[in-house]
């Protein structure tokens, strides 16, 4: 009987709703079936994002600044919708249904995109003029079909991305040491295969789009997603399912609403008087930061309903309040990481447009402009390998710690992005000097595209540090019950970074432009001053870097909970 009980997973069920049996559910095989969805999602999303700007400019004749904004808005929406996917998975659908539904939506989106790029009536007449003003732009209806396709893909990406990694880890029992070890390997393999999906997107898929047929490239995305869904569904009987426990967003709102309702009440001198009924082992000590939220734990008349159960919208425990405080402490660091993804956005938009004007031949082979982003993947993999094999051992010998802290990695990533944008500005000055000498109407300038490699490598290396640092920071510094929420918070930095890029481009275009479409971000980048725009982004990034250092010092100074001290209360009972 004990052996049969040991085969049951206490917090998971099978597809029939019975306690999951370890011998029949979970493990590597179901996790691998789930992993296929994420590989195809990366293949689709990155295959679209890194090469979309060439389609917008070269086929639909959209000006450079507007093309960049369409790409960044698409990517920003994709990551922002991760919050929606996480909320639906936690509160209503569960991770399995969420993945199946949103993966299907993404498949429809890529199929629609393939159709929109295939049908001649969905694009304007061909034009070979360097000056975009001489070409007919895509009509409103043509752009409408394109937007429909892109935002179906964005919706699918956001919905499934928030659940894939979580559902994968659900297949392993954390209370079983053997399976816990397997879970650690799953995370390593998850990151590796996501990188491989990106690598395939920026090499093979971009080549198919540019050199064979763009609609075929998007069709490959759609078919691969369909196959991944079928493979995913084939594992239905083998998966382990965790019950939805409700969204942390609701818990946060309850604390905020309860605190607002009691904003006129005075806090007790001793925090022991605040409401707490959580088990001792799960309690979080009271802290003095964000004292206004403590009012949610003040006991008042009408806070309890039947059988002394508190109304969660009127009264919250100290532990619940402290969980919200922990999330609030993450916000300054969260805010200072947004601009990195604004820098990243320039690499998949304007840097690709730069590549389109440069010599991309290696012998007789012409490198697709979008494939330059392969140096991102290379930089990430090289940086992580060097860090793992050399930096961590040396740092442990010198400092006695296994590598940099998460906050240090974030700061290093931000510093590399500042240097990267500075280098990008200098390289663009060189490219513009060649354009001035050769003639600004020249379609292909006699300057090698490999001049762009340093900026890709520097910002790619920065991504390796900041991505791992952010993920580690938001997961380890958040409450146990809000890990999914903190991961979503991390992903919103990507979304807001892309939106900030769109806003910045629009402002600069308006302030520096004129009626002829010139200015820093001219319709033809050969007559613009992209170097000055890159310099502006570098300056903003530098200011943000110093703000990050200040926020990191503040966070470390307040990261430990401060238990209540009797010395804080006077003998006469007054504070």
The residue assigned the tokens 């052996």 is: 3
Q: Which of 45, 19, 170, 59 is nearest to 102 (CA)?
A: 45
Specify the DSSP class assigned to residue 240.
Answer: -
What CATH topology corresponds to 12-245? Growth Hormone; Chain: A; (1.20.1250)
pLDDT score for 32: 85
pLDDT score for 184: 60
Torsion of CA 415, 420, 425, 430, to 10 degrees: 140
The two domains 12-245 and 327-565 share their CATH topology (first three levels equal): yes
Query: Does residue 159 contact residue 105 with C-beta atoms inside 8 Å?
Result: yes
**HSE-CB for 235 with a 13 A CA cutoff:** 27
pLDDT score for 515: 63
This prediction has a pTM of 0.80
* SS3 state at 205: helix
pLDDT score for 562: 47
Question: pLDDT below 70 — which residues of the chain?
Answer: 1-6, 129-133, 181, 183-185, 187-189, 191-192, 245-246, 307, 402, 480-481, 483-484, 515-517, 557-575
Query: Does residue 550 contact residue 414 with C-beta atoms inside 8 Å?
Result: no
The residue assigned the tokens 């990430």 is: 380
* SS3 state at 358: strand
Q: What is the pLDDT of residues 16-47, one digit of tens each?
A: 888 888 888 888 888 888 888 888 888 888 88
pLDDT score for 132: 63
Q: What is the pLDDT of residues 551-570, one digit of tens each?
A: 999 887 555 444 444 344 34
Query: Which distant-in-sequence residues (6+ apart) come within 8 Å of 445 by Cβ?
Result: 357, 358, 359, 431, 434, 435, 438, 526
What is the rounded CA–CA span in Å between residue 354 and residue 344? Answer: 15
Give phi and psi for 439, each to the nearest 5.
Answer: 110, 125
pLDDT score for 200: 85
pLDDT score for 273: 85
Q: What is the pLDDT of residues 335-347, one digit of tens each?
A: 999 999 999 999 8
Query: Does residue 505 contact residue 512 with C-beta atoms inside 8 Å?
Result: no
Q: How many CB atoms lie within 10 A of CB 390?
A: 10
pLDDT score for 467: 84
Query: Does residue 449 contact residue 366 with C-beta atoms inside 8 Å?
Result: no
Q: Which of 206, 232, 208, 223 is nearest to 110 (CA)?
A: 223
Query: Which distant-in-sequence residues (6+ apart) come within 8 Å of 373 by Cβ?
Result: 50, 202, 347, 348, 352, 456
Please give the structure tokens belonging to residue 349: 């938009």
What is the rounded CA–CA span in Å between residue 13 and residue 22? Answer: 10
pLDDT score for 370: 80
What is the rounded CA–CA span in Å between residue 429 and residue 550? Answer: 33
Q: Which of 38, 88, 17 is nearest to 240 (CA)?
A: 17
pLDDT score for 550: 95
pLDDT score for 549: 95
Q: Where are the domains of the chain?
A: 12-245, 248-326, 327-565
Please give the structure tokens belonging to residue 145: 């079909």
DSSP line for 418-460: HHHHHHHHHHHHHHHHHHHHH-TT-SSEEEEGGGGHHHHHHHH
pLDDT score for 306: 74
* SS3 state at 88: helix
CA angle 121, 125, 128 (to 5 degrees): 150
What is the rounded CA–CA span in Å between residue 200 and residue 370? Answer: 12
Q: Domain 327-565 in CATH: superfamily? A: MFS general substrate transporter like domains (1.20.1250.20)
pLDDT score for 199: 83
Q: What percentage of residues in the chain have a pLDDT greater than 70?
A: 90
pLDDT score for 93: 84
pLDDT score for 136: 86
pLDDT score for 341: 94
């Amino acid at each position: 009987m004990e052996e049969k009980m040991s085969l049951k997973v206490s917090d998971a069920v099978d597809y029939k709703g019975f306690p999951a049996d370890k011998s029949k559910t979970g493990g590597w095989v179901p996790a691998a079936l789930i992993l296929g969805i994420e590989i195809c999602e990366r293949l689709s999303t990155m295959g679209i994002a890194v090469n979309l700007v060439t389609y917008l400019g070269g086929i639909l004749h959209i000006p450079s600044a507007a093309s960049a904004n369409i790409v960044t808005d698409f990517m920003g929406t994709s990551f922002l919708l991760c919050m929606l996917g996480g909320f639906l998975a936690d509160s209503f659908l569960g991770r399995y249904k969420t993945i199946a539904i949103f993966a299907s939506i993404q498949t429809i989106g890529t199929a629609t995109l393939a159709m929109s790029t295939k049908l001649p009536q969905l694009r304007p007449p061909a034009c070979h003029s360097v000056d975009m003003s001489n070409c007919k732009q895509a009509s409103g209806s043509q752009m409408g079909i394109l937007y429909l396709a892109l935002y179906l893909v964005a919706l699918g990406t956001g919905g499934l991305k928030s659940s894939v990694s979580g559902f994968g880890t659900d297949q392993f029992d954390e209370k079983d040491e053997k399976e816990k070890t397997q879970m650690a390997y799953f995370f390593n393999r998850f990151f590796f295969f996501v990188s491989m999906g990106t690598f395939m997107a920026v090499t093979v898929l971009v080549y198919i789009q540019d050199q064979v047929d763009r609609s075929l490239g998007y069709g490959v995305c759609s078919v691969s997603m369909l196959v991944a869904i079928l493979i995913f569904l084939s594992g239905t009987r083998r998966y382990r399912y965790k019950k939805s426990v409700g969204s942390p967003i609701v818990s946060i709102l309850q604390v905020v609403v309860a605190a607002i309702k009691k904003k006129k009440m005075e806090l007790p001198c001793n925090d022991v008087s605040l409401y707490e009924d959580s088990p001792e082992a799960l309690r979080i000590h009271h802290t003095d930061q964000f004292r206004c939220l403590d009012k949610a734990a003040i006991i008042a008349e009408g806070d309890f309903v039947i059988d002394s159960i508190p109304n969660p919208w009127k009264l919250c425990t100290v532990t619940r309040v402290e969980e919200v405080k922990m999330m609030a402490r993450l916000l300054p660091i969260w805010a200072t990481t947004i601009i990195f993804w604004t820098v990243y956005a320039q690499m998949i938009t304007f840097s690709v447009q730069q590549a389109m004007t440069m010599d991309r031949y290696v012998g007789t082979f012409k490198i697709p402009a979008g494939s330059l982003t392969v140096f991102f993947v290379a930089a990430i993999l090289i940086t992580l390998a060097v860090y793992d094999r050399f930096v961590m051992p040396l740092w442990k010998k010198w400092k006695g710690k296994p590598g940099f802290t998460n906050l240090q990695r974030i700061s290093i990533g931000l510093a590399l992005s500042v240097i990267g944008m500075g280098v990008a500005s200098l390289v663009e000055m060189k490219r513009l000097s060649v354009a001035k000498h050769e003639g600004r109407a020249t379609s292909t300038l006699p300057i090698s595209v490999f001049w762009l490699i340093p900026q890709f490598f520097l910002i790619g290396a920065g991504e390796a540090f900041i991505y791992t640092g952010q993920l580690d920071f938001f997961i380890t510094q958040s409450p146990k019950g809000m890990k999914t929420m903190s991961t979503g918070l991390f992903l919103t930095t990507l979304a807001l970074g892309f939106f900030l890029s769109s806003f910045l481009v629009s402002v600069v275009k308006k302030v520096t432009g004129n009626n002829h479409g010139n200015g820093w971000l001219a319709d033809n980048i050969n007559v613009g001053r992209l170097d000055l725009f890159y310099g502006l982004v570098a300056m903003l990034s530098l200011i943000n870097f110093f703000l990050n250092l200040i926020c990191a010092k503040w966070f470390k100074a307040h990261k430990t909970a401060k238990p209540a001290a009797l010395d804080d209360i006077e003998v006469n009972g007054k504070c």
